[in-house]
Structure formats: structure tokens, C-alpha cells
């Protein structure tokens, strides 16, 4: 499937670190209790990212917890690169999701993706959604990161460039390649499905 069109559905831009947030980060470095303010401000967004990526609410909660605990532990290493604190959290979230996939294995991801489609039928595209989620998790880490940040965070190419610390042009080309790879994986999985008894 040749894909060159990149029409992204973008929500509100990531909140750039306000002076209030910068102060909260400073406070949280000295007092873990102050980290609560940061976590409550960004929890919704991070949990939604995992929900979109996995389709499972309980798992999304667990992965969001892992992300914030890692952020709490690594807060002293945080430096604002211009992308803001939430972008840093998304970077941790993308790594957390990758580790989850490595631990869980393809079969569990497949079961999870399709369980939602079978049980809920919340959306008329449920089966396709499950297929796309499963296909995303089979992509390379690089493709997964750029694709999920673009669609599930969602972030602009400029924001992704700051998060991944690469030029914006590189993000665009990676995104195009990731879409192509995703199309190929969907095709492969669809074919496999057709061959299953």
C-alpha cells in the first residue's frame, strides 16, 4: 500500500511549560509530594495515549502508573528541550509501551486487540481498529514511536521532532515510512486471518 498523504488529526498543541509548571518541576525535585501536582495535570493525557494504543482501560492505567513512577524517579534528569514536560512524559510513555509489548509478546497483544472488538463492538470499525492496533505493535520501535505520537498523543511533527530530538524533516519522512510499513503489516495480518481455519 503506497502512502504519501499525511493528514493528521491534531488536537490542541502540547502545553508549553508555563512558569507555574517550571516551578512545580523545581518543587517536585525537592519534594516528591509536589510531583502530585504534575501527575494530576498530565495523567488524563497519558492514560488516553495508552488507552488508544492498547484498547484496554485497566492496562492503560497500569502503563500510565509505570510512566509516572519512571518520571518521578528520573525527574532530576529532566531538561526542558523546548517541547515541555508533557512531551517528556510522552517519550517515557512510548518507551513504557514498547517494554510492555516486549514483555507481553505478540499473541497477548493480538488477544487484547481483538478482545475489545469481540466484546464491545463500540465502534462499527471495531475489527479494523483491532487489526490496526495489532499491526502497529509489530512495527519497529522507531516507526511505532513516531506513528503513535502523531496519532495517539497526538502531536505535530514539530513537537515530535523536539521529543525525538531529530529534525522536523526526519519526522516527516519517518512518518511516511511508518505509514507504509503499517499498511504492509495490515495487509500481511489480513492475509494471515484469511488463511486461519
Binding positions for other proteins, rule: CB under 8 A: 1, 3, 5, 7, 9, 31-33, 35-36, 39-40, 43-45, 47-48, 51-52, 57, 60-62, 64-65, 68-70, 72-74, 76, 123, 125, 128-129, 131-133, 151-152, 154, 179, 182-183, 186, 190
Residue 134 Cβ, how far from other proteins at the closest point, in Å? 12
Question: Please, which residue, 19 or 48, has the CB nearer to other proteins?
Answer: 48
DSSP 138-191: TS-HHHHHHHHHHHHS---HHHHHHHHTS-HHHHHHHHHHHHHHHHHHHHHHHH
Question: Quick one: three-class SS letters along 49-106?
Answer: HHHHHHCCHHHHHHHHHHHHHHHHHHHHHCCCCCCCHHHHHHHHHHHHHHHHHHHHHH
Residue 17 Cβ, how far from other proteins at the closest point, in Å? 20
Ramachandran category for residue 105: left, alpha or beta (phi over 0 → left; psi -120 to 50 → alpha) = left
Question: Please, which residue, 68 or 101, has the CB nearer to other proteins?
Answer: 68
Residue 84 Cβ, how far from other proteins at the closest point, in Å? 19
Question: Please, which residue, 17 or 133, has the CB nearer to other proteins?
Answer: 133
Residue 106 Cβ, how far from other proteins at the closest point, in Å? 19
Residue 132 Cβ, how far from other proteins at the closest point, in Å? 5
Question: Please, which residue, 161 or 186, has the CB nearer to other proteins?
Answer: 186
Q: Name every residue whose Cβ is closer than 8 Å to that of residue 5 and which is 6 or more positions away in sequence.
A: none
Residue 187 Cβ, how far from other proteins at the closest point, in Å? 8
Question: Please, which residue, 47 or 97, has the CB nearer to other proteins?
Answer: 47
Question: Please, which residue, 19 or 30, has the CB nearer to other proteins?
Answer: 30
* 181 contacts 3 by C-beta, under 8 angstroms: no
**Sign of CA pseudo-dihedral 39, 45, 47, 50:** negative
Amino acid at each position: 500500500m503506497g502512502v504519501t498523504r499525511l493528514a493528521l488529526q491534531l488536537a490542541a498543541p502540547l502545553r508549553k511549560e508555563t512558569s507555574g509548571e517550571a516551578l512545580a518541576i523545581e518543587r517536585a525535585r525537592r519534594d516528591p509530594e509536589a510531583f502530585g501536582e504534575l501527575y494530576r495535570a498530565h495523567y488524563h493525557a497519558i492514560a488516553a495515549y495508552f488507552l488508544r494504543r492498547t484498547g484496554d482501560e485497566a492496562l492503560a492505567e497500569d502503563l500510565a502508573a509505570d510512566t509516572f513512577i519512571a518520571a518521578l524517579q528520573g525527574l532530576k534528569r529532566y531538561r526542558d528541550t523546548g517541547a515541555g514536560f508533557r512531551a517528556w512524559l510522552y517519550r517515557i510513555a512510548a518507551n513504557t509501551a514498547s517494554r510492555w509489548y516486549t514483555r507481553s509478546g505478540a499473541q497477548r497483544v493480538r488477544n487484547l486487540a481483538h478482545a475489545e472488538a469481540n466484546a464491545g463492538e463500540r465502534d462499527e470499525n471495531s475489527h479494523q481498529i483491532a487489526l490496526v492496533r495489532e499491526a502497529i505493535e509489530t512495527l519497529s520501535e522507531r516507526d511505532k514511536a513516531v506513528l503513535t505520537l502523531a496519532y495517539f498523543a497526538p502531536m505535530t511533527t514539530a513537537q515530535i521532532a523536539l521529543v525525538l530530538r531529530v529534525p522536523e524533516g526526519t519526522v516527516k519522512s519517518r512518518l511516511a515510512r511508518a505509514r507504509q510499513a503499517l499498511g504492509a503489516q495490515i495487509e500481511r495480518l489480513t492475509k494471515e486471518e484469511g488463511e486461519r481455519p
